[in-house]
Structure 1
Amino acid sequence: MAGRLEGKNAVVTGGGSGMGRAIAQRFAQEGARVAVLDLNLETAEATADLIRGAGGQALAVACDVSNSASVTAASERVITELPGIDVLVNNAGMLDGYAPLLDTSEELWDRIIGVDLKSMFLVSRAFLPTMIAGGGGSVVNTASIAGFVAGGGGIAYTSAKHGVIGFTKQLAADYGKQGIRANAVCPGAVETGMTKAILESGDAAVMDSIRSVPAGRHAQPEEVANLALFLASDESSFVYGASYVIDGGWTVL
């Protein structure tokens, strides 16, 4: 079914690489005009160029999603150039190096919570009014299996991702009747630039954990993008406040 997002405008944070890039490209393939937000404008432009090169429409915008002023400036530009936002993907995030509590500085804690959780609040607050005014839309938040279980990250990352799942549920409860469908994708191990060093480290514990899952491998960003597409499209029209695990069976063991 091609064209599942035909004529719609989508915003993807952290769209310059990894899952964000795959999501932005997948949405464009299905007909969406995509605003690619990223801290690094160069990588955002690279994603936008890939979309345009494939015949799609894209806008690249620099944005620090953990900073209120930066989010305000970015959202104002996006809304001006792409009036009527239909889909928002809060995907930007970062890892904490699996740091336990006693190895986590206050600076690291604040940075992880800022990028992985506070950003959801800031970006959603910036775009929800125009989405509601247009009759509603879909919000897709990138959580993690670390939002359900320990071991998927350190203390800060795990806390942030648990928060994302709670944020998603409350967003759906508060604004569902105004046409906002908020849901979360919860990946396990995904091969991206952010995780490449971990996956290629050869660390026995890491490799054993990947091989032990029923799928016997890590995911590709495009597989997560397909799930995000389902949640962004009208195919998931009765899905509100759900958290979809995509982990190759990691959490069923």
Structure 2
Amino acid sequence: MELAGKVVVITGAAGGIGSALARRFADEGVAGMVLADLDADAAEALATSINRGLTRAVGCDVTDPAQVAALVEVAQESFGPVDLFCSNAGITTGTGLDTTDESWDRAWSVNVHAHVVAARAVLPSMLDRGAGYLLQTCSAAGLLTAVGDAPYAVTKHAAVAFAEWLSMTYGDRGIGVSALCPQGVRTPMLEAGLARGHAGAHVTALSGEVLTPEQVADAVVEGLAAERFLILPHPEVATYQQRKAENPDRWLASMRKLISRVGSTA
């Protein structure tokens, strides 16, 4: 998918990967973008800094179907049919068996169900046109795991599974789907985890190069152009995934050793 001339929606757009995607997509010559975030003021500031004529900002709770439907309507009324919808919002917990039911529900809502809500809102018009693209930020945790964060590991796996289902169900009807699965990225989410001493954040920071959001955005543009299902800003994730598939017992043993080193069983 070439971005020039396309209409794009990005959720979780106000910071981190979302804002880097917005700036890079603007450089690629998109026709218009709607930047959605729970923090409407931050989204507005980003839209203004990029190009107010090119962008619109919308405060949006991605778990609310009515708000997401309204988000799609704003994009259509402002710029035309949505060509690319980036479901980028996500949350971590840093907890394990002690996770409250409320936190589990919130993780499911933001990390999984928000992708479902977005697809319901934007796919019908894409299918009518026989063209459209969904980019879903799923994390390397969706292919591997997340040390010290059970809800994040589980929900990101589910997010990858939903992206796979969308691709196999609608891929022959003109719908492209990519799952963005980075490892460590220097975002407010990672920095907050490090500040709180979450084991998973420390493992992420130590297990490979921590990329900038801009580097991730570069990988996304390249991955969309190639229309790859898995976009892996950290190429080594593919190797780890292969090792996991080839010998799950050995992989799990290595993860137990890693947990022992960081001193956390969540």
Q: TM-score normalised to the size of structure 1? A: 0.86
Q: Read off the aligned partner of 1:50 and give its amino acid letter.
A: S
**Residue 245 of structure 1 aligns with which residue?**
232
Q: Summarize the alignment of residues 9-158 of structure 1 with structure 2, pairs less than 5 Å apart.
A: 9-32=7-30, 33-52=32-51, 57-96=54-93, 98-101=94-97, 103-152=98-147, 154-158=149-153
Aligned pair 1:180/2:169, yes or no?
Answer: no
Distance 2:128 2:223 in 1: 20
- Structure number with higher helix proportion: 2
The structural deviation recorded for 1:236 is 1.7
CA contact (8 A) 1:145 1:251 kept: no
Q: Distance in 2 between matches of 1:243 and 1:227?
A: 11
- Name structure 2 gaps, 5 residues minimum: 241-266
Shift of 1:207: 4.7
Contact 2:16 2:188 in 1 (8 A): yes
Deviation of 1:245 after TM superposition, in Å, equals 2.8
CA distance in 2, matches of 1:7, 1:236: 17
Report the aligned-residue RMSD: 2.4
CA distance 1:208–1:89, shift in 2 (3 Å): closer
Tell me, yes or no, if the aligned pair for 2:149 and 2:200 is still in contact at 8 Å.
no
CA apart distance, 1:40 = 1.0
Percent pairwise identity = 34
Deviation at 1:171, TM superposition (A): 0.4
Contact 1:168-1:184 within 8 A present in 2 as well = yes
Partner secondary structure for residue 184 of structure 1? strand
> Structure 1 pair 246/152, CA: closer, same or farther in 2 (3 Å)?
farther
Deviations 1:27-47 (A, max 9, x none): 111011111011111111122
Which protein is bigger by CA-based radius of gyration? 2
Give the conservation status (yes or no) of the 8 Å contact 2:12–2:89. Answer: yes
Q: Structure 1, unaligned stretches of length 5 or more?
A: none
Matched, 1:220 2:212: yes
- Cα distance between partner residues in 2 of 1:26 and 1:8: 13
| TM-score (normalizing by structure 2) | 0.82
Q: How many corresponding residue pairs?
A: 239
- Could you tell me how far apart the structure 1 residues matched to 2:112 and 2:75 are? 21
Query: Would you say the 8 A contact 1:15–1:38 is kept in 2?
Result: yes
CA offset at residue 198 of structure 1? 2.9
Per the TM alignment, residue 229 of structure 1 is displaced from its structure 2 partner at its CA by 1.6
Over 3 Å counting, the alpha-carbon distance change for 1:85 and 1:153 in structure 2 is farther
